Amino acid sequence: MAAPTHADVSDLAGRVVLITGATRGIGLGVARHLGTLGVRVGVTGRKPERVEETAVTLSDVGVDHIARALDVRDGDGTVEMVGAMHERWGRVDGLVANAQSFRPVTPLADVSADDMDLLFDTGPKGTLWSMQAVVPFMRERRWGRIVTMGTALGLTGAAGYGPYAASNEAIRSLTRTAANEWGRDGITVNCVLPASARHRLNPDADADRKAVFDAMYAEHPLGRDGDPEDDIAPVVAFLLSDASRYVTGQTVGVDGGGIMRA
């Protein structure tokens, strides 16, 4: 029998990971968490001022990073970003395909072509362009980790979230195809279904809106919202580590069991 290799969850120091949509919420939490583990991160977001704020935040906590304003729809720009990461650090090990734009909650009967285009262009298509940008470098080293983001609303078919839910199910489907196509290159691809929504609640929201938000957790098994850095990011880190090397094509709920309410 071969000697045990002790695949490790703490092997992340020195790795290089692109996180799209990392200027707030889950992406920022993932960037901060990975940074504290010694990962060198490329971070993107749409709004230049938020990208600058993120760069300052990461510098303050000593995270080696490249921050760039980049729309996830821009495939050529993503190739350039990943090229810059490779030029600076000599490797690209991971991708967290996290960016996606949203539209207000809308009944299916009123969904427009623009709504569908925005969700699909920034969801599955943006995820695919990001995957295509990192995979050549991962193939070179025969090692790579890709984590995509989906939503439990895609599984439950939540009313009002049609384009968002459908686009996220397309991301889960791409995740499985990518896992099949790139497994022999040493690349694993998995999808996380997170729940961490408090950062999306406007602090000035009225009492009714806050009550709706709190009610979401009334029957939630763990009874609370997830924290981007302390609840979601550690599972993403596991999926980016060597310890997850026999996990691919999977969907992992990181939602405190919230989906069981459905």
Ligand X SMILES: NC(=O)c1ccc[n+]([C@@H]2O[C@H](COP(=O)([O-])OP(=O)(O)OC[C@H]3O[C@@H](n4cnc5c(N)ncnc54)[C@H](OP(=O)(O)O)[C@@H]3O)[C@@H](O)[C@H]2O)c1
Using CB under 6 A as the criterion, which residues of the chain lie in contact with ligand X when the complex forms? 20-27, 44-47, 50, 71-73, 98-101, 122, 149, 151, 194-197, 199-200
Query: How far apart are the C-alpha atoms of 157 and 97, rounded to whole Å?
Result: 22
**DSSP assignment string, 217-261:** TTT-TT-SPPPIIIIIHHHHHHHHSGGGTT--S-EEEESTTGGGG
In the complex, the smallest distance separating the C-beta of residue 20 from ligand X, rounded to whole angstroms, is 6
Query: How far apart are the C-alpha atoms of 81 and 133, rounded to whole Å?
Result: 9
In the complex, the smallest distance separating the C-beta of residue 52 from ligand X, rounded to whole angstroms, is 11
Contact yes or no for 68/81 (Cβ under 8 A): yes
In the complex, the smallest distance separating the C-beta of residue 2 from ligand X, rounded to whole angstroms, is 38
Nearest residue (CB) to ligand X, 16 versus 96: 96
Contact yes or no for 148/170 (Cβ under 8 A): no
Nearest residue (CB) to ligand X, 73 versus 91: 73
164 classed as catalytic: yes
The residue length of the chain stands at: 262
Nearest residue (CB) to ligand X, 7 versus 159: 159
Taking alpha carbons only, the member of 93, 183, 76, 90 closest to residue 133 is 76
Q: Out of 161, 164, 217, 246, which one is annotated catalytic? A: 164
Nearest residue (CB) to ligand X, 36 versus 101: 101
In the complex, the smallest distance separating the C-beta of residue 185 from ligand X, rounded to whole angstroms, is 25
Residues forming the active site: 164
